[in-house]
């Protein structure tokens, strides 16, 4: 067998084989093998450019490209495992190519370093990751809208401080989640602008004296921009930090949705029931049906925040330009994106399996003075200053509490003792089911506006 050093891209000046412990520790293959297809795509563009710029003979360039296309089919096949002795994916692909087309393969790494190459590979991966996460976000939004469409008139309490605040419709809260996810998706669009910058051509750090054509490579790979400083090109991982950050914020948003649904599925709230297909049981308490999926989703935010924090900490204080510390980026990024995609996928499925316990909801509405604000607004419409109206209704709430009643149960004469402006109409104001219909401000939970919002989202997300 050939000595280990001959398998390295940099063996020339070394006379000893690498210590096996060092070799194992420094190898990135187990992680970066996921970049294989991107590595090949980058190499195909690079090989074409080398031929076009006459840096290598046109015939060699063609042989590189055909060879790389064959290699691409090999590494794209599901069962592909790289030769574990290669130091990293770039070396593994180089060796595969040499086995496929012979010594001409050795012309491929002209005017290129693994420093600009790994940044390119990672950017190609990020581009795909953004698209996939965005698709997964849309599937969750569609599931939310599907669920919402059956509940534009289902009145529930809306909460602040986890205390019942005012009546809303259930669909309105689900649409709040759709909005949150739309921002998560927008954030990815903005990161994409900075992912889509071609680093290749920066070489190890100082460019090259060979007559390469970076604009041509950028065009072949669909990059609208080229990194304009070779030092920055190999040292920049802002796009990784930003993508991790977008994933962390998305994770936090998912955890908030999960928490709401966990609360809603308790007997105490009684708003949701879970199908058996998405619930789990207790090994000890036979009666239990638990929302473990949601708890995992809630907890997952801790991991994606951790991956962001870990990578920010790796980056902090790194001198220009490339340092091997940067190798840790892939592990953190892959984990974060995998978790994000899995979490979104499971949440979309989960939403197809929740049922709203409409029979239970009146219990939540009846036991509370949810419409106190409506009553104050009603007085405002009769010319009372809001702060005075607030005090008047507050007095009524205190009165009803002293009598152990709900606001709705006060008699007309009791209302009129506090303000003569109350008439028979006042009692209707206190009905939560009517309250939502009186809402008129844009973005409020009026069932008519909520139905319009659903139609708007459907057009935007291209659903039925
Ligand atoms: N495995 C390395 C990484 O992930 C590839 C670049 C190696 N470059 C180097 N000069 N050792 O960053």
Domain boundaries, the chain: 24-110, 127-209+222-363, 368-462
Ligand 1 lined by 60 (C-beta under 6 Å): no
Q: How confident is the model at residue 1 (pLDDT cuts 50, 70, 90)?
A: very low
Question: Sorting pLDDT into bands at 50, 70 and 90, what band is 13?
Answer: confident
Angstrom CA distances, 453 to 120, 171, 226, 338, 348, stand at 41, 10, 41, 31, 20
Mean pLDDT (whole number) for 237-255: 98
Full-model pTM? 0.94
Task: Note the pLDDT tens digit of each residue in 364-374.
Answer: 888 678 899 99
Choose among 376, 186, 379, 156: nearest CA to 272.
156
Q: Which of 6, 84, 190, 282 is catalytic?
A: 282
As assigned by CATH, the class of the 24-110 domain is mainly alpha
Ligand 1 pocket mutation, candidates 22, 82, 88, criterion most atoms within 8 A of CB: 88
**Confidence at residue 6, expressed as pLDDT on a 0 to 100 scale:** 56
Do 368-462 and 24-110 fall under one CATH topology? Answer: no
Give pLDDT, residue 5: 44
> Could you tell me the distance, in angstroms and rounded to a whole number, from the CA of residue 28 to the centre of ligand 1?
8
Mean pLDDT of 73-78: 97
Q: Tell me the Ramachandran region of residue 178: left when phi exceeds 0, alpha when psi lies from -120 to 50, beta otherwise.
A: alpha
CA 25–ligand 1 middle distance (angstroms): 13
Q: From ligand 1's centre to the CA of 324, what distance in Å?
A: 6
Residue 9's pLDDT is 81
Residue 4 pLDDT more than 60?
no
pLDDT band per the 50, 70, 90 thresholds, residue 463: low
More confident residue, 177 or 406: 177
Residue 248 has pLDDT above 90, yes or no: yes
DSSP assignment of 215-260 equals HHHHHHHT-SEE-S-HHHHHH--HHHHHHHHHHHHHHHHHHHHHHH
- Assess whether the C-beta atom of 327 lies below 6 angstroms from ligand 1: yes
Q: Is the CB of 61 within 6 Å of ligand 1?
A: no
Predicted confidence at residue 464, as pLDDT, reads 47
What counts of helices (H) and strands (E) characterise the chain?
A: 19, 6
Asked whether 326 lines ligand 1 (CB < 6 A), one says yes
Lowest mean pLDDT among 3-17, 73-87, 318-332, 413-427: 3-17
* Chain-centre distance for alpha carbon 370: 35
pLDDT averaged over every residue in the chain: 94
d(CA 340, CA 345): 9
Pick the residue whose CA is nearest to atom 4 on ligand 1: 327
Phi, psi of 236, rounded to the nearest 5 degrees: -70, 120
pLDDT of residue 274: 93
Residue 255 has pLDDT above 50, yes or no: yes
281 touches 290 (CB < 8 A):
yes
Q: Give the position, in ligand 1's atom list, of the atom nearest the Cα of 324.
A: 12
Residue 434 has pLDDT above 80, yes or no: yes
282 is catalytic: yes
Instruction: Give me the percent of the chain exceeding a pLDDT of 70.
Output: 98
According to DSSP, residue 291 is labeled -
Q: Is 118 in the pocket of ligand 1 (CB under 6 A)?
A: yes
Report the alpha-carbon distance of residue 143 to residue 280 in Å, rounded: 21
93 Cα–ligand 1 center, Å: 14
For the question of residue 425 being annotated catalytic, the response is no
Active-site residue, from 161, 209, 425, 441:
161
Domain 127-209+222-363, classified CATH 1.20.200.10, yes or no: yes
Q: What is the CATH number of domain 368-462?
A: 1.10.40.30
Task: Tell me which of 259-263, 393-397, 459-463 is least confident.
Answer: 459-463
The pLDDT of residue 2 is above 70: no
Q: What angle do CA 39, 45, 50 make, to 5 degrees?
A: 120
pLDDT level of residue 3 (50, 70, 90 thresholds): very low
Tell whether ligand 1 has an atom less than 6 A from the beta carbon of residue 122: no
Residue closest by Cα to atom 3 of ligand 1: 327
The atom number, within ligand 1, closest to the CA of 89 reads 1
Closest CA relative to residue 279, chosen from 354, 196, 171: 354
pLDDT at 202: 98
Expressed in angstroms and rounded, the spacing between residue 274 Cα and the centre of ligand 1 is 48
103 CA to middle of ligand 1, Å? 24
Q: Model confidence over 303-355: pLDDT tens digits?
A: 999 999 999 999 999 999 999 999 999 999 999 999 999 999 999 999 999 99
88 lines ligand 1 (CB under 6 A): yes
């Amino acid at each position: 067998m050939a000595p280990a050093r001959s398998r390295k891209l940099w063996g020339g000046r070394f006379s000893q084989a690498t210590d096996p412990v060092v070799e194992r520790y420094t190898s990135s293959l187990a992680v970066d093998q996921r970049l294989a297809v991107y590595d090949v795509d980058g190499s195909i563009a690079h090989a074409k450019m080398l031929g076009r710029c006459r840096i290598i003979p046109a015939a060699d360039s063609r042989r590189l490209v055909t060879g790389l296309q064959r290699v691409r089919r090999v590494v794209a096949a599901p069962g592909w495992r790289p030769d574990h002795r290669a130091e990293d994916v770039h070396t593994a692909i180089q060796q595969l190519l040499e086995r496929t087309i012979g010594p001409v393969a050795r012309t491929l790494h002209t005017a290129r370093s693994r420093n600009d190459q790994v940044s390119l590979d990672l950017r190609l991966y990020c581009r795909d990751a953004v698209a996939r996460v965005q698709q997964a976000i849309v599937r969750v939004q569609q599931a939310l809208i599907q669920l919402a469409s059956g509940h534009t008139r289902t009145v529930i309490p809306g909460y602040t401080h986890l205390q019942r605040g005012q009546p809303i419709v259930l669909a309105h809260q689900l649409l709040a989640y759709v909005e949150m996810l739309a921002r998560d998706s927008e954030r990815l669009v903005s990161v994409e602008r900075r992912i889509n910058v071609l680093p290749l051509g920066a070489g190890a750090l100082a460019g090259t004296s060979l007559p390469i054509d970076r604009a041509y490579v950028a065009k072949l790979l669909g990059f609208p921009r080229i990194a304009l400083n070779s030092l920055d090109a190999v040292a920049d991982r802002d796009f990784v930090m930003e993508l991790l950050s977008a994933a962390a914020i998305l994770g936090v948003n998912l955890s908030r949705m999960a928490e709401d649904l966990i609360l809603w599925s308790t007997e105490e709230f009684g708003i949701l029931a879970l199908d058996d297909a998405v619930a789990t049981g207790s090994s000890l308490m036979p009666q239990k049906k638990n929302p473990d999926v949601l708890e995992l989703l809630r907890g997952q935010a801790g991991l994606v925040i951790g991956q962001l924090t870990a990578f920010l900490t790796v980056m902090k204080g790194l001198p220009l330009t490339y340092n091997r510390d940067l190798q840790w980026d892939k592990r953190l990024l892959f984990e974060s994106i995998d978790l994000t995609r899995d979490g979104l996928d499971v949440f979309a499925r989960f939403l197809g399996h929740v049922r709203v316990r409409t029979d239970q909801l009146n219990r939540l509405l009846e036991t509370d003075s949810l419409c106190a604000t409506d009553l104050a607004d009603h007085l405002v419409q009769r010319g009372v200053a809001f702060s005075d109206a607030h005090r008047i209704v507050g007095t009524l709430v205190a009165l009803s509490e002293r009598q152990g009643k709900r606001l709705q149960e006060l008699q007309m004469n009791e209302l009129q003792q506090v303000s003569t402006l109350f008439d028979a109409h006042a009692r209707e104001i206190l009905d939560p089911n009517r309250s939502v219909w009186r809402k008129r401000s844009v973005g409020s939970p009026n069932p008519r506006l909520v139905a319009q919002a659903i139609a708007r989202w459907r057009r935007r997300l291209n659903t039925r």
